[in-house]
Amino acid sequence: MKVTFYNTKPYDKQFFTEANQVQGHQLRFLEVPLNENTAILAKGATAVCVFVNDKVSASILRHLAEAGVKLLALRCAGYNNVDMAAAAQVGIKVVRVPDYSPYAVAEHTLALILTLNRKIHRAYNRVREGNFALTGLMGFDLHGKTVGLIGLGNIGLVTARILKGFGCRVLGYDLYNSPEAADAGVEFVALEELYAQSDIISLHCPLTPQTFHLINEESIAQMKDGVMLINTSRGAIINTQAVTRGLKSGKIKSLGIDVYEDEGDLFYEDLSGRVIQDDVFMRLLSFNNVLITGHQAFFTEEALYTIAQVTLKNITGFEQGQPLRNEVFPSFLPNVENMLN
Ligand code: NAD
């Protein structure tokens, strides 16, 4: 099958070319993102493959359908960037890679927690400048602390298990109480209780209309003073301006994010030679207790290998008319228009 890839980097080409030696599709790698102007480039392809920051709106889906595209293959787990109702309307099926490596994201979550707590980012710079003073670098024992996880699916569950290994008490909130999470020692609580009791709160739910700006002025007010907040899920689960106010007041003692609500204009590009125009983002960068990574939690060899394998198998399954195991349905995510802007 002819597949047009958008937004590709050298590592995408490498892993997909290797995986395709078995699958045998015709792959065309474009570096440009998918948008109103570039959708036409898919003409002649039956499938289009996109990543997290390609915003696949209703109008782009119409352009793709007109170009003959029948399948949208997401090379990621999240699907909040796709207008699913519009995809169904124009007859484009959507597939994703639901669980390529929960370890990659869970381990990155721990990297953010440990770095922020022990101030490794600051210590690294100090030592390089010959400054061995410890003032300002004091952390706390993770052992014995209460960590609240919002979302206990694949990634939340692995995060919970790692945290239990550190000797943490783990509280969880999810729409469903999974037996695996209970077996891992997670205590299911109401969201209000999780906010009130947690020393660290980490987000592992998808971005949906219910979770859009879940972390806002009101929820922050319910949190412990000096809470650490971690987001490796999707940027818009956090209201960035509210969190910035929380950081300014000291209510939030530290923030670790791998995702940002307006990351589409920033992440995955080298902007070091330009002036970044996003003042909300630049204010966040000005805090030394804020650690930002550019949506790289997934970025391990194992994850990229699995993403390439599963994406191409999804495409092969569609080509052969098999039931699509990893299909995303419109009912998964109603009314996402507000999150696509
Ligand atoms: P998953 O589907 O296995 O788990 C998500 C969990 O969230 C489910 O248990 C679900 O019931 C729960 N949930 C849904 N709505 C909720 C709500 N309103 N409140 C509380 N819980 C809710 O997904 P996963 O593989 O664990 O991934 C979680 C998220 O991590 C993805 O949606 C994606 O946005 C993000 N992610 C980020 C990266 C990265 O590189 N930073 C990589 C992969 C995934």
67-89 pLDDT, tens digit each: 999 999 999 998 999 999 999 99
Q: Is the pLDDT of residue 336 over 50?
A: no
- Shared domain for 96 and 109, answered yes or no, is no
Whether residue 255 has its Cβ less than 6 Å from ligand 1: no
Q: Is the pLDDT of residue 337 over 60?
A: no
273 belongs to a structural domain:
yes
What total number of domains does the chain contain?
Answer: 2
Residues serving a catalytic function are 234, 263, 295
Does ipTM surpass 0.90 in this model?
A: yes
204 belongs to a structural domain:
yes
Q: Is the pLDDT of residue 305 over 60?
A: yes
Q: Which value, to the nearest 10 degrees, does the dihedral of the CA atoms of residues 244, 214, 104, 22 take?
A: -130
- Shared domain for 169 and 241, answered yes or no, is yes
What is the average pLDDT value for the chain, to the nearest integer?
95
- Shared domain for 325 and 213, answered yes or no, is no
Span 44-50, average pLDDT: 98
Q: Cβ distance 319 to 2 under 8 Å?
A: no
Q: What is the pLDDT of residue 338?
A: 38
- Residues of the chain above pLDDT 70, percent: 97
pLDDT digit string, tens, across residues 173-232: 999 999 999 999 999 999 999 999 999 999 999 999 999 999 999 999 999 999 999 999
Mutate to test the pocket of ligand 1, among 203, 205, 336 (most ligand atoms within 8 A of CB): 205
CA 322, CA 313: separation in Å to the nearest integer? 11
β-pairing, 227-231 vs 47-50, is unpaired
Whether residue 219 has its Cβ less than 6 Å from ligand 1: no
Q: Is the pLDDT of residue 29 over 60?
A: yes
Q: Cβ distance 303 to 11 under 8 Å?
A: no
- Shared domain for 204 and 243, answered yes or no, is yes
Span 250-266, average pLDDT: 96
- Shared domain for 235 and 127, answered yes or no, is yes
- Shared domain for 246 and 182, answered yes or no, is yes
- Shared domain for 38 and 62, answered yes or no, is yes
Tell me, what CATH number does 229's domain have?
3.40.50.720
- Shared domain for 188 and 317, answered yes or no, is no
339 belongs to a structural domain:
no
133 belongs to a structural domain:
yes
Q: What is the pLDDT of residue 332?
A: 59
By mean pLDDT, which of 91-95, 199-203, 207-211, 333-337 is the weakest? 333-337
Ligand 1 centre distance from Cα of residue 203 (Å): 8
Q: What is the pLDDT of residue 78?
A: 87
- Shared domain for 171 and 318, answered yes or no, is no
Give the distance from CA 169 to its chain's centroid. 24
pLDDT digit string, tens, across residues 119-168: 999 999 999 999 999 999 999 999 999 999 999 999 999 999 999 999 99
Q: How many CA atoms lie within 13 A of 187 on its CB side?
A: 13
- Shared domain for 96 and 119, answered yes or no, is no
Q: What is the pLDDT of residue 340?
A: 42
Whether residue 204 has its Cβ less than 6 Å from ligand 1: yes
Axis crossing angle, helix 301-319 with helix 102-118, rounded to the nearest 10: 150
Query: Does the pTM of the predicted model rise above 0.90?
Result: yes
Q: Is the dihedral of CA 156, 8, 319, 65 positive or negative?
A: positive
Q: Which value, to the nearest 10 degrees, does the dihedral of the CA atoms of residues 286, 213, 109, 308 take?
A: -110
pLDDT bucket at 297, cuts 50 / 70 / 90: very high
- Shared domain for 60 and 179, answered yes or no, is no
Structural domain for 191, as ranges: 102-292
- Shared domain for 155 and 234, answered yes or no, is yes
Span 266-295, average pLDDT: 97
286 belongs to a structural domain:
yes
CA 130, CA 178: separation in Å to the nearest integer? 50
Span 56-75, average pLDDT: 97
